[in-house]
Each structure stands twice: as structure tokens, then as C-alpha cells.
Amino acid sequence: MRGLTAVPIEPLRIAALLLVACAATAAWGQATGPTPIFTCTDASGKRFTADRPIPECNARDQRMLNADGSVKRVRPPALTADERAVAEERERQALAERARQQEAVRRDRNLLARFPNEAAHRKARELALDDVRKSLRQSEARLAALANERKPLTSEAEFYVGKPLPLKLKLALDANDASVDAQQSLVQNQQIEALRIEKRYDSELDRLKKLWAGAPPGSLGVLTPTSSSAAR
């Protein structure tokens, strides 16, 4: 067409590529941010400046500067092996404490879900004691039966005062004694178990009364082993 000046295509391509390259460079700079500047002074008073943490100042504070020279943040001294071990142990203890707290919260919530009121808790206590009481009654009945079995043996043994007992009689008396000892030991264990159950439910009830009154789950400390077993 007349009146239009022809423009070479190659210079246009070069200009377009330059514009794209500039735009990409600007976008990269925005994404990565300015290069940080680290500065510090060592023990001898020598000043250091670098674009990364300065090894000569590992034991001292290092200031990270913005582009305008203002302090962005301060990098504390690197920890020694002993200091790092102490810090790691402190972190482990903190994690363990958080885990204990979370477990206390979980168990308190389980307690509240299982025992919404005192009547539900009292019913559970009686059910827990029921089996122990049945076993105790059986052991007491067995002791009474053994006492009755011993009466004729004792009467027969009176004929042999000052004399050796017949082997059959002696074995019967010994067997009776062993059975009595076993039952008495069983009764003692059952009584201890009943007392343990009572203490567990007493401890639970004391905790539940506070939870029912509005205490947040986990705010009452760690549950004791005896009280925690029914809260799982």
C-alpha cells in the first residue's frame, strides 16, 4: 500500500523478546524477593557483611538487613552440641506434656459420655462389684463346707491322742488344711479387689462431680491408674 513505510520484521522480533525477558526478570525478582544481607562483628571487633549467614559469627548475633539497611530480624547464635541436646530434650518434654494433656482430655470426655449422671455411675459400680461379691460368697460357702468336712476327721483324730495318726486320716486332715488355706487366700484377694473397685469408683465420682459442675475436660490433672481404667 502507498503511504506506509515498511518496517523490517527482525528488529520487531528482537524488541518483543526483550520486553518478554524484562517482564520475566521483574516477575522472578518479585517471587524470590531481594537478596538478604547479613552483618555482624566478631569477638575481635572485625565487621563482616555477606548475602548468607556468616560462619565467623556463628557464636554471635547476626543482623539480617532489608535493602534500605533497616533490620529485618536478628539471627541468634548457633547452638553448641550440649545446648542443642538440652533444647531437644526440652522439646521432647513439651511434646510428652501435650500428649498427656490430650490424653487427660480424651479420658475426661469418655467419663462424661459413659456417666452422664450419678445414677449411671452408681449402677456401674454395683455391676463391677457384683462378680467379686458372688465369688466371695462362693468362697465363704466353700469354707463352711470344709469346716463341716473337718468335724468327723477331728473327732476321729481324738482317738489317737499321743499316737501316730493313720495315714489315711492324716492325708485327709492335711488336704482339708490345704483347701482351707487356699480359700482363705482367695477370700483375702477378693476383699482386696472389692476395695480397689470401691476406691476407683470413689476417685471417678469425685472427678465426675467437678466435670458435671462445669470443669473443662483435662483441667483436673492426669487421671490416676485406678480411675482411668473405667474411662477408656
Q: What b/e readout covers 87-124, taking b as 16+ CB neighbours within 10 angstroms?
A: eeeeeeeeeeeeeeeeebeebbeebeeebeeeeebeee
pLDDT of 31 reads 46
Q: What is the DSSP letter of 203?
A: H
Contact 42, 56 (CB under 8 A): yes
Structure-derived torsion over alpha carbons of residues 98, 102, 105, 110, reported in degrees to the nearest 10: -160
| Whole-prediction pTM | 0.55
* Residue for grid cell 482367695: 186
| Residues 229, 226: Cα–Cα separation, whole Å | 6
| Residues 218, 107: Cα–Cα separation, whole Å | 8
pLDDT of 43 reads 81
Comparing CA positions, the residue from 34, 75, 70 lying closest to residue 53 is: 75
Comparing CA positions, the residue from 26, 58, 28 lying closest to residue 42 is: 58
- Where would I find the beta strands (DSSP E) of the chain? 37-41, 47-50, 62-65, 71-75
| pLDDT averaged per 10 residues in sequence order, the chain, 232 residues | 44 47 46 74 88 86 87 85 86 92 93 96 96 94 96 93 92 95 95 96 95 93 54 47
| Residues 128, 193: Cα–Cα separation, whole Å | 10
